[in-house]
Amino acid sequence: MTHDVIVLGAGAAGLFAAAEAGRRGRRVVVLERAAEPGRKILISGGGRCNFTNIYCRPENFLSGNPHFARSALARYTPADFIALVERHGIRYHEKTLGQLFCDGSSTQILEMLLAECASAGVGVVTGCDVAGVSAGFSVETSRGRFEAPRLIVATGGLSIPRLGATDLGYRIARAFGIAVVPPRPALVPLVFDGDDRARWTDLAGVATTVGASANGVTFRERLLVTHRGLSGPAVLQASSYWQPGEAVEIDLLPGVDLVRELSDRRAAGDTQTTKTALGEWLPRRFADRWFEVMASPSVIAATGNDELSALSAGLHAWRVRPAGTEGFAKAEVTAGGVDTRELSSQTMEARRVPGLHFIGEVVDVTGHLGGFNFQWAWASAHAAGNAQ
């Protein structure tokens, strides 16, 4: 079973890289462990596949080398992928913040990728468990041995193990002497410690817009209280930057000058309580709980400056020290991965192992929530596929 290129993984990056290489006249085969290709594509975006973001920039990615992704992202842009989607007649819409979703279902994106592979003469072998890879490259699998002078590893990360995620890509990298940044869950809900769980988790389902900050990076989006901790887009984004033992700082009233608002009401002789007033900006249940555990309510007209300042400071900088995350089982992506210092940013090829490429989630490049990780899959796959 000799080919020009073997691609490991029939996900977004693997299928796209295979199609690109196939269009260059290369004999390409994709080997996929699962019984069906593209399982993670199918569940993405609530089943509608948030396939890119029109505002994609290098700043939307986290990596040990923040400049690594620039080259691939510049050479294959959201506009390029949108053009492909349109050629296949797939209708789409912008939801929020530049996020593009299929009008129909995620199946359309998977079918498009498989059609691109078919037209390029790419073979896709499913139910193919890789036992080992040796120099050359010779890939021993449950479906026999496959050989090719070039190998593209698109095996993804450790997130959502129920879909078949494994550490194969990291094992291959280490076997060839390539460094791996320790993988960790990213875009993942955070778990309260015991004290905060007792205070807040019975508010599960309550949501509000906040500014969530971790390691100096802030995201202004929705926060959701869960039965175990905090989730919602703002918290998922911050989780990628959070480190165990550190606090996440949450601005519960972004854009609200609470001191001025309440000072003006005090000057007007407002006889409401601060607790009642807070319910104008926060969900009532959350506002009530805040005054049960974090502050004492008072009549606005009788509230002093120091008390107003303290109330405002607490609400604008609620510090939560999570006990941990929900782990890879609930993580949308994996941060860390194959060290970008080991790879060419132009071709995604390992500097010390000619012919060996790593693309997509297996690499230490992690996008923000909202279609950025798909765009990295397309861009890195394009770079590797066109280097064959």
Q: Which of 326, 346, 364 is the last residue of a domain?
A: 326
**Same structural domain, 285 and 339:** no
When pLDDT is cut at 50, 70 and 90, the band that residue 262 belongs to is: very high
**Same structural domain, 161 and 54:** yes
**86-131 pLDDT tens trace:** 999 999 999 988 999 999 999 999 999 999 999 999 999 999 999 9
**Same structural domain, 168 and 317:** no
**Same structural domain, 46 and 139:** yes
**Same structural domain, 30 and 152:** yes
Specify the CATH number for the domain of residue 215. 2.40.30.10
**Same structural domain, 198 and 138:** no
* Domains: count for the chain: 2
When pLDDT is cut at 50, 70 and 90, the band that residue 1 belongs to is: low
**Same structural domain, 211 and 354:** no
Residues spanned by the domain of 315: 189-326
Rounded distance, CA 185 to CA 330, Å?
Answer: 8
Q: What is the pLDDT of residue 349?
A: 98
**Same structural domain, 138 and 80:** yes
Specify the CATH number for the domain of residue 375. 3.50.50.60
**Same structural domain, 317 and 343:** no
- pLDDT at 2 > cutoff 90: no
**Same structural domain, 322 and 339:** no
Q: What is the pLDDT of residue 96?
A: 87
**324-355 pLDDT tens trace:** 999 999 999 999 999 999 999 999 999 999 99
**146-157 pLDDT tens trace:** 999 999 999 999
**Same structural domain, 321 and 337:** no
**Same structural domain, 347 and 245:** no
Q: What is the value of pTM for the model shown?
A: 0.95
Q: What is the mean pLDDT of the chain?
A: 97
